């Protein structure tokens, strides 16, 4: 249910549960952390693209059919939450850029998955929302914190209290996605962006990602030593020398990530 294909530096991760609009089943949730750590360790991967199988959904949320078994007792809920905590460790380990290619439904846990991406590109048929209030379930602080940091408390309040669906245009207006494109241009737009990132120096891109990540954290929780070390590694790298040489020679640089 979780597929991964690597092509010329771009890893495409597909949430493959189309019968349930790519809902986050237990199988997907348990497979995701290991895949994220594997992508983080793979020097052949420079960019990760997240997408959903088919044309109906990116990810429609958690698999509600599993709730009776997995979200009823405190113990079951704790085990359910641990799968997301494990995935969070994987996301933290991944210093490569992540692009979310969003078509169709992007709801609840699917929206939180999209928020793990650095860049979100949506088709004009995409729909967004958090239906927790219509299901009567409690919504995690981590999810609220991520949304508030991106679109502000007023937008999050309306989204959570109303539990309504938002159009792609509304999502773009509030800053939930970077841009919206026609459905027939979505693949080309995402591919062009991924390829352009692949052409750049991987160490620099990784340092930028970590810097952005730390910038939005509370100051007391920032790991600035790690970021400084990554910046210094850029200046000590062969890619830094290659970038200067290519600029002076007026040619395209060939970066190797070292």
Q: What are phi and psi of 26, to 5 degrees?
A: -60, -40
Q: Sign of the CA dihedral 41, 193, 198, 191?
A: positive
Domain boundaries in the chain? 2-197, 200-249
For the segment 194-240, what is each residue's pLDDT rounded down to a tens digit? 999 999 999 999 999 999 999 998 899 899 999 999 999 999 999 99
Count other Cβ atoms within 10 Å, centred on residue 138.
Answer: 9
Does 71 score more than 70 pLDDT? no
Residues 6+ apart with CB under 8 A from 34: 90
For the segment 156-185, what is each residue's pLDDT rounded down to a tens digit? 999 999 999 999 999 999 999 999 999 999
For the segment 127-157, what is each residue's pLDDT rounded down to a tens digit? 999 999 999 988 889 999 999 999 999 999 9
Q: Which helix (H) or strand (E) holds 247?
A: helix 238-249
- Tell me the CATH number for domain 2-197: 3.90.226.10
Query: Whole-model pTM above 0.75?
Result: yes
Residues 6+ apart with CB under 8 A from 43: 257
How far apart CA 258 and CA 240 sit, in angstroms, is 9
């Amino acid at each position: 249910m979780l597929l991964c294909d690597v092509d010329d530096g771009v890893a495409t991760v597909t949430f493959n549960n189309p019968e349930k609009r790519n809902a986050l089943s237990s199988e997907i949730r348990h497979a995701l952390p290991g895949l994220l750590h594997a992508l983080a360790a793979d020097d052949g991967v420079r960019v990760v693209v997240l997408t959903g199988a088919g044309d109906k959904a990116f990810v429609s949320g958690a698999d509600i059919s599993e709730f009776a078994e997995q979200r009823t007792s405190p113990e079951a809920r704790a085990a359910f939450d641990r799968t997301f905590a494990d995935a969070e460790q994987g996301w933290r380990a991944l210093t490569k850029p992540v692009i979310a290619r969003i078509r169709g439904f992007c709801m609840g846990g699917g929206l939180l998955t999209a928020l793990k991406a650095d860049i979100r590109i949506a088709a004009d048929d995409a729909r967004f929302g958090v239906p927790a209030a219509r299901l009567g379930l409690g919504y995690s602080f981590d999810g609220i914190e991520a949304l508030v940091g991106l679109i502000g408390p007023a937008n999050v309040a309306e989204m959570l209290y109303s539990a309504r669906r938002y159009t792609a245009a509304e999502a773009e207006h509030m800053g939930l996605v970077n841009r919206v494109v026609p459905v027939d241009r979505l693949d080309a737009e995402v591919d062009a962006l991924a390829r352009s990132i692949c052409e750049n120096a991987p160490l620099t891109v990784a340092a930028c990602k970590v810097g952005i990540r730390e910038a939005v954290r509370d100051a007391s929780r920032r790991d600035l030593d790690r970021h400084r070390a990554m910046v210094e590694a850029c200046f000590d790298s062969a890619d830094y020398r290659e970038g200067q040489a290519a600029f002076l020679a007026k040619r395209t640089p060939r970066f190797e990530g070292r």
